[in-house]
Structure 1
Amino acid sequence: MAEPDPQLRPFEDRHDRVQPIHSIQVLRALAAFMVAVHHVQPDAAIVAMHAGLSFTRSDVLPWMAGVDIFFVVSGFIMVHASQDLFGRRGAGWSFLKRRLARIVPLYWAMTTLFLLVGFAVPAVLNSGAPSLGQVLASYLFWPAVSTQGLVQPVYSLGWTLNYEMLFYVLFAAGLLLPARWTLPAVGLVLALLVGADSLHGPLPLPFAFWGQPIVLEFAAGMGIAVLRRKGLRLHGALRVAVAAAGVAVLLVAAQMPGADGGWSAVLWRGGAALLLVLAAACGRERAVPAALPVRALAAVGDASYALYLVHPFVIRGLREVMLRAGLASPVLYIALALGGAVLAAVLLYRCFERPATRLLRRWLGG
């Protein structure tokens, strides 16, 4: 195993000790839960149909805005947690190793599980079997057209990770530059990708995928991190007002036709995410949150990546169990599915994700 650069190790140690911001962890938990609420409702409608009941989905919020929140949070966290790496020799590779160790094990495990289930029960794929090229592209985070004609990996939730990996590679490359150029360079490349596709598109893959406006949300998160580092703090009523404004924008976006794609999604959902992350990131933080609900949500926030990836398995599996058991109550199903997804995520995080991340980091020498 390669030994870490001794000149870099002290900075990596301080990087490890960056304290999490509990309000950001709470926001991550809520974002993952929003995505789960979006996905549980079609299955609840099937449960209701089998019972001869009516079911009307709730769209009081644009639930997939959880992804926009994740992207803004990701931009913020990369800057906040990597501040000691800026301008350091070997920082780019160190950063990329950490992100690979964090993202790869669980995503590869969930992709493999999906493929195994799909090959055992082909009906769950809802499409033809993927080709070898599509499978490889999925494992390599490379945008490719699926059997359904969409640019998404075999395990469709991984489309967000294809964007995340683009951002990580750009950020790692930016760390090779002098510290003052890192963030402007990353933001400029993201803007150029979006501008090229918007003005001269559609571009060929993968640039057509990478050039979607949603990638600008990473830049928004980086901007919030810069404001925090410069000392911006929102206190008391102002912090509450900024968070309330973010929720209000989401409520309006849920009622706006066409607010769920392209530039409209970035302006509405991304704008709301920016306000929510700003309120969460730039407030006064206690070393340990006092309120039990905050501590509980922060713990779910630690497992938010697991919650994002595992909830479809719980939702679909529980649906089949309830239908076979004759428990066709959509309300009960939603409660059990969401609660089960959170429980599965916490267990998966503690028993697999965290140990696997540590193991891979040691193997990579990071």
Structure 2
Amino acid sequence: MRAFAALLVVIHHAQHEAATLAGRIGAAFVPGAWLPWPAGVDVFFVISGFIIVHAAGPLYGRPGARARFAAHRIARLVPLYWLVTGLYLALGLAAPALLSGEGGPPDGARVLASFLFWPMARPDGAVLPLYGLGWTLNYEMAFYALFALGLGLSRRGAAAWLVAALALLVLVGRLVPSPPVPLVFWSDPIILEFALGAGLALARAEGARLGTLPRLALAGAGLLALAAAPAEPALRLLAWGLPAALLVAAAVLGRDRPEPVRGRLAAGLLAGAERLGDASYALYLLHPFVLRATREALLRTGLAPSLGPWPSLILMVLLTLPAALLVHRFVERPLTRLVRARLDPPTRPLKGAAAPEG
């Protein structure tokens, strides 16, 4: 599911690059609208809500749980994001045209806010960090902070606290007159997608399991609902968030010991999808660099006219995959281990505790 969510976002941005390529070579290009590609973010949010509540099992009600959870989350998200943001800033300073769409070069306050996951409006009015894809991480970090506050409770209590806190945040954002930018950002109903994932984690912990046919029905309903959803929904939570929850439910409410996949081809595809899922964070953060570099390489080598927009798009997407796998293995994982070793509280490890792979 993480691989699926990341690929939706990659295809969304690849179509933009393909449209730019088509315009520069004078070719026709009609983007595919089979699915609302940005909804990959909504799938990610539901997955994140599930994984955090599910994997934090050994931490509930334990001394030092909040510090350990915070250390693991920081080690998981911050190093690669800071590295990518720093790279983007360096490229922008070297080639200011790269940041021309933001209404001007970034000032120190915006750079600092971007690194600290603090929502801040750009000169053009958009509430986006320096590296635009980081807007999702501003939501993730707020979700982690709220969840950490409930770690002193049981799983049920922590999940109830999380859902109530997220709902209250949305309500406050609607009731406060002229709310500040951070409150406007964090009170968007999209944050309730974390609650949907948390609810699925609690349901699984309470023993909820579905057979193969009901899960296939959930997956089919989720895909059909996404395909039928508008490209720019009035309420994203309902149009994209609920179908995303159906897809995640189909994935997580199966048996504890699923039967092994039969056939080399099927097993190989599943193993590849799992590896890509592990690298989904690297894929999400790095794919714009690969897409843009591939597009420019095709244009400058003269290959773009002979390939055309759609083959170029497929090539751009395919090249993001090995790039993400390599960065995950040789950059992201070593950085995560290093930072976690530095930040982990110096206490006896909690039995069975692990950093959730969100």
TM-score when scaled to structure 2? 0.90
The yes-or-no answer on 1:144 pairing with 2:120 is yes
- Structure 1 residue 320 displacement after superposition: 1.0
Q: Cα–Cα, structure 1 residues 233 and 317, in superposed 2: closer, same or farther, change >3 Å?
A: same
Residue identity in the other structure for 1:98: H
Unmatched segments (≥5 aa) in structure 2: 346-358
**Does the 8 Å contact 1:196/1:211 carry over to 2?**
yes
Residue identity in the other structure for 1:249: A
3-state SS of paired residue (2:181): coil
CA separation in 2, counterparts of 1:66 and 1:257? Answer: 13
**Does the 8 Å contact 1:134/1:153 carry over to 2?**
yes
- Structure 1 residue 52 displacement after superposition: 1.8
Count residues with an aligned counterpart. 335
**Does the 8 Å contact 2:84/2:286 carry over to 1?**
yes
Residue identity in the other structure for 1:107: Y
Of the three residues 205, 212, 216, the one matched with 1:229 is: 205
**Does the 8 Å contact 2:155/2:202 carry over to 1?**
no
Q: Which has the larger displacement, 167-176 or 302-311? A: 167-176
**2:354 paired residue number:** none
**Does the 8 Å contact 1:310/1:345 carry over to 2?**
yes
**Does the 8 Å contact 1:201/1:208 carry over to 2?**
no
CA separation in 2, counterparts of 1:258 and 1:313? Answer: 26
**Does the 8 Å contact 1:242/1:279 carry over to 2?**
yes
Residue identity in the other structure for 1:161: L
- Structure 1 residue 50 displacement after superposition: 2.2
Q: Cα–Cα, structure 1 residues 258 and 46, in superposed 2: closer, same or farther, change >3 Å?
A: closer
User: Taking every aligned residue pair, what percent have the same amino acid on both sides?
Assistant: 48
Unmatched segments (≥5 aa) in structure 1: 1-26
**2:317 paired residue number:** 338
Write out per-residue CA displacement over residues 167-214 of structure 1, whole angstroms, 9 at most, x where no aligned residue: 011111111345542221121111011012234455212111110000
**2:17 paired residue number:** 43
CA separation in 1, counterparts of 2:261 and 2:50? Answer: 21
Of the three residues 339, 342, 351, the one matched with 1:363 is: 342
CA separation in 2, counterparts of 1:44 and 1:347? Answer: 24
**2:180 paired residue number:** 204
**2:351 paired residue number:** none
Residue identity in the other structure for 1:181: G
Residue identity in the other structure for 2:244: A
3-state SS of paired residue (2:119): coil
**Does the 8 Å contact 1:289/1:295 carry over to 2?**
no
Residue identity in the other structure for 1:320: E
Of the three residues 274, 287, 296, the one matched with 2:272 is: 296
Q: Cα–Cα, structure 1 residues 227 and 125, in superposed 2: closer, same or farther, change >3 Å?
A: same
Q: Which has the larger displacement, 349-358 or 50-59? A: 50-59
- Structure 1 residue 348 displacement after superposition: 0.4
Residue identity in the other structure for 2:168: L
CA separation in 1, counterparts of 2:260 and 2:146? Answer: 33
**Does the 8 Å contact 2:276/2:325 carry over to 1?**
yes
**1:265 paired residue number:** 236
Write out per-residue CA displacement over residues 4-30 of structure 1, whole angstroms, 9 at most, x where no aligned residue: xxxxxxxxxxxxxxxxxxxxxxx1001
Q: Cα–Cα, structure 1 residues 246 and 132, in superposed 2: closer, same or farther, change >3 Å?
A: same
- Structure 1 residue 44 displacement after superposition: 0.5
CA separation in 2, counterparts of 1:340 and 1:148? Answer: 32
What are the within-5 Å matches in structure 2 for residues 47-86 of structure 1?
47-86=21-60
CA separation in 1, counterparts of 2:34 and 2:177? Answer: 34
CA separation in 2, counterparts of 1:203 and 1:225? Answer: 32
**2:253 paired residue number:** 282
- Give the root-mean-square deviation of aligned CA atoms: 1.5
Write out per-residue CA displacement over residues 145-178 of structure 1, whole angstroms, 9 at most, x where no aligned residue: 1233211100000000000000011111111345
Write out per-residue CA displacement over residues 38-70 of structure 1, whole angstroms, 9 at most, x where no aligned residue: 111121012112222100011110001100000
CA separation in 1, counterparts of 2:280 and 2:50? Answer: 16
Q: Cα–Cα, structure 1 residues 181 and 293, in superposed 2: closer, same or farther, change >3 Å?
A: same
Q: Cα–Cα, structure 1 residues 75 and 190, in superposed 2: closer, same or farther, change >3 Å?
A: same
The yes-or-no answer on 1:109 pairing with 2:83 is yes
3-state SS of paired residue (1:146): coil
CA separation in 2, counterparts of 1:214 and 1:75? Answer: 12
3-state SS of paired residue (1:54): coil
**1:88 paired residue number:** 62
CA separation in 2, counterparts of 1:53 and 1:323? Answer: 13
